[in-house]
Structure 1
Amino acid sequence: MAEVKISGEIRKEFGKGAARRIRRDSKVPAVVYGHGGDPVHVTLPGHDLFLALKTPNVLISLNADGFKELVIPKAVQRDPLKGFIEHVDLLLVKRGEKVNVEVPIHTEGELAPGGNLLEHVLNALPVEAEATHIPESVSVSVEGLEAGDSVLAKDIQLPKGTTLGVEEDAVVLQVLAAQAEEPTAEEEAEEAEAAAEAAES
């Protein structure tokens, strides 16, 4: 995974008022923590951060007033209506260090015919990976799966150096049988009429 360089500033003002002023300037308040040190509060450029966070578990090379560290996003708060980033928690990492993250799951292929439904029991797969080699996603083939079939965590092929962060037998995906559709009022009326005609004949 390529590093994304972001330059920010050490944040010295705190509270809701300060946070609002930061956001008015198209910036985002963030906190950096990890490795047993005190949290470091920073302000990051909103547009650069928005672009970076399009990549899950993105590795960020952060430089804030001389504070230079590698970090990955751990929690992102967004405005529930407008969707813009309100706050970010960043975790300190080092090259070669293993970290626990959740990786998006992408499915490939088509289920067996029959209108069955694919349920994502897990929306993301917990894994342990080297901080500088976190996979952007994992792919799972659902080709030909039928109702009752499932995909377990151990069935998913992981990149070299990445291990499962969940039980091997954990269900990741499962195929649910198609539900029979409830008849409409019109269909019920037609059936009743047909039954009445049959009884009269």
Structure 2
Amino acid sequence: MSSDLKLEAESRQDHGSRSSRRLRRDDKIPAVVYGQGSEPLSVTLDRPKFRATLNAAGPNAVITLDVDGSDYLTIVKNMQRDPIANRVTHVDFMLIDIDQRLIVDVPIALVGDAVLVRQEGAVVQQQMMTLTVEAPAGNIPQVFEVDISEMSIDNSIRVSDLEMGTGVVPQVEDESLIAIGQRSRAAVAAEETGGEDSDGLGEDAAMGGDAVDAGEASDEDAGEDS
């Protein structure tokens, strides 16, 4: 069985850093296909086509790699990048079966406007950027979108709140936090200052009450003296 996503590649015989640098200058990416007991196959990718494929389908997509007319069902296992230019410099493709269960990291994206959190003088803090799941190769989520529009400080978002697809099993506890609402230091400081002012006024009022009582007592004493 093949996937609907297809990417052309060319087999290559030249190896080594010099050959790889030459490929990158020509806007191509060296890659390798391996797995299922087969010998690793070195291939070359067209950079613009590879970028377009990933942008369209996501990093965990099942890709049918067409190498010189032969199809290989794969998933991107690893991508190396240039630390300065952030360009992909090498790709590892792993051979798979469409029904094979895989463990992958799926990105988590927060969507919506957390109005209630802002009204409480807080901000949303994302605690988990990716979620590790086990899923059938043909049903791997590309991203978990988390709606935070109904979120509040007292209502954090946890793994158990996510909608998992068929056969998708998270590899962490259901109660693991994804996003929380947390007050800023300024908001906490303002709240504490307000509380102290209220207490101070209460003490002054109490002292004022004692003074009145003392005055009344003095008047009574004066009346007795007269």
Letter of the 1:161 partner, please give it. G
Question: Per-residue deviation at 1:154?
Answer: 1.7
Residue in 1 that maps onto 2:194: none
Question: Per-residue deviation at 1:149?
Answer: 4.2
Residues in 1 aligned to 2:32 and 2:122: alpha-carbon distance in whole angstroms:
44
Alignment of 1:74 with 2:77, yes or no, is yes
**In the TM superposition, what whole-angstrom CA distance separates every residue of 1:85-136 from its partner, at most 9, and x where no partner exists?**
2111112111111111122222233321234222222211211222122222
Residues in 1 aligned to 2:71 and 2:48: alpha-carbon distance in whole angstroms:
20
**In the TM superposition, what whole-angstrom CA distance separates every residue of 1:145-164 from its partner, at most 9, and x where no partner exists?**
33364322122111223221
Residue in 2 that maps onto 1:199: none
Residues in 2 aligned to 1:109 and 1:26: alpha-carbon distance in whole angstroms:
38
Residues in 1 aligned to 2:4 and 2:121: alpha-carbon distance in whole angstroms:
42
Task: Say what the alpha-carbon RMSD is for the aligned residues.
Answer: 2.2
Question: Per-residue deviation at 1:69?
Answer: 0.9
Residues in 2 aligned to 1:158 and 1:121: alpha-carbon distance in whole angstroms:
19
Residue in 1 that maps onto 2:209: none
1:124 to 130, 136, 142: 130
Residue in 2 that maps onto 1:100: 103
* Mapping of residues 157-172 of structure 1, within 5 Å: 157-172=163-178
Alignment of 1:64 with 2:70, yes or no, is no
Residues in 2 aligned to 1:16 and 1:32: alpha-carbon distance in whole angstroms:
18
Unaligned stretches of 5+ in structure 1? 182-201
Question: Per-residue deviation at 1:78?
Answer: 2.2
* Mapping of residues 121-200 of structure 1, within 5 Å: 121-147=127-153, 149-180=155-186
Residues in 2 aligned to 1:38 and 1:5: alpha-carbon distance in whole angstroms:
22
Question: Per-residue deviation at 1:67?
Answer: 4.3
More helix as a share of residues: 2
Mark the CA change 1:98 to 1:24 in structure 2 (over 3 Å): closer, same or farther.
Answer: same
Letter of the 1:53 partner, please give it. L
2:39 alignment partner, SS class: coil
Residue in 1 that maps onto 2:25: 24
Residue in 2 that maps onto 1:4: 5
Question: Per-residue deviation at 1:66?
Answer: 4.5
TM-score, normalising length from structure 1? Answer: 0.79
Letter of the 2:137 partner, please give it. A
Residue in 2 that maps onto 1:46: 47
TM-score, normalising length from structure 2? Answer: 0.71
Identity of aligned residues (%): 33
Residues in 1 aligned to 2:38 and 2:128: alpha-carbon distance in whole angstroms:
33
Residues in 1 aligned to 2:75 and 2:9: alpha-carbon distance in whole angstroms:
15
Letter of the 1:140 partner, please give it. V
Mark the CA change 1:35 to 1:117 in structure 2 (over 3 Å): closer, same or farther.
Answer: farther
Report which of the two structures shows the higher radius of gyration computed on alpha carbons: 2
**In the TM superposition, what whole-angstrom CA distance separates every residue of 1:45-71 from its partner, at most 9, and x where no partner exists?**
111111112223122110213442111
Residues in 2 aligned to 1:11 and 1:175: alpha-carbon distance in whole angstroms:
52
